Amino acid sequence: MSKSKQAKLLKIYKKLLAHFGPQGWWPGDTPFEIMIGAILTQNTNWGNVERAIANLKQSNVLRPTSLVRIPNAKLEKLIRPAGYFRAKAKKLKIFCRWLIKQGGVKKLKKKPLNLLRPELLKVWGIGPETADSMLCYALDKTNFVVDAYTVRIFNRLGLIKTSDYHAIKDYFEQNLPKKLGVYKEYHALLVALGKHFCKKTKPLCKECPLKK
């Protein structure tokens, strides 16, 4: 751990928290709902995911056994608002089958992170960002989530010079205090910063809480 890197990361964290306030991530009534949301949010915005989850709830199928059994065409229709609905329906079914085989969410929570993460990454359709979101927000593992906002913001700030997922994850995990609450909040705050200020094409640096 580098003390200066840790100090910088914490300074950014405090400024973002002071500006945006606690983000209360991840939205979801149960760990299972959070895991389903992590798959549905791939390549789409959260508003679309909310509509797909509302459809699943309304049809009373938001549980692993129901999602495994529901006909493909019906599932595709329910999650259509989240986009890529054919691929996502397949991902949901494969993930739910795997989850049932593992003994459910409670059993997963008991597994150590170093064993669970590689197993999760072997499930078809689960990449590093999706796996890490599930591990951090649904399974309460102290495991940092990296996304496109993190890559953009930290490269622009000049604190990293890479877009490699695991190099960035290591950078945070080696320099932040190992606290689940900090990991959860930090990622959520970076999403808020990326959405509202550090935009892809035109960053709003003058108004940005990190302008100094």
Contacts with ligand SF4, residue ranges (CB under 6 A) = 153, 156-157, 197-198, 203-205, 208, 210-211
Beta carbon of residue 132, minimum distance to ligand SF4 (angstroms, whole number):
22
DSSP codes, 23-73: --PSP-SSHHHHHHHHHHTTTS-HHHHHHHHHHHHHTT--SHHHHHHS-HH
Looking at the Cβ atoms of 39 and 192, the one nearer to ligand SF4 is 192
Beta carbon of residue 19, minimum distance to ligand SF4 (angstroms, whole number):
11
Cis status, amide bond into 26, omega within 30 of 0: yes
Looking at the Cβ atoms of 100 and 204, the one nearer to ligand SF4 is 204
Nearest C-alpha neighbor of 93 from the set 68, 64, 59: 68
Beta carbon of residue 92, minimum distance to ligand SF4 (angstroms, whole number):
34
Looking at the Cβ atoms of 109 and 156, the one nearer to ligand SF4 is 156
**Residue holding tokens 């689940």?**
180
Looking at the Cβ atoms of 16 and 139, the one nearer to ligand SF4 is 16
Looking at the Cβ atoms of 10 and 208, the one nearer to ligand SF4 is 208
Beta carbon of residue 210, minimum distance to ligand SF4 (angstroms, whole number):
5
CA atoms within 13 A on the CB side of 104: 4
Q: Residue 99 is encoded by which pair of tokens?
A: 């989850």
Beta carbon of residue 39, minimum distance to ligand SF4 (angstroms, whole number):
29
Between CA 77 and CA 169 the distance in angstroms is 35
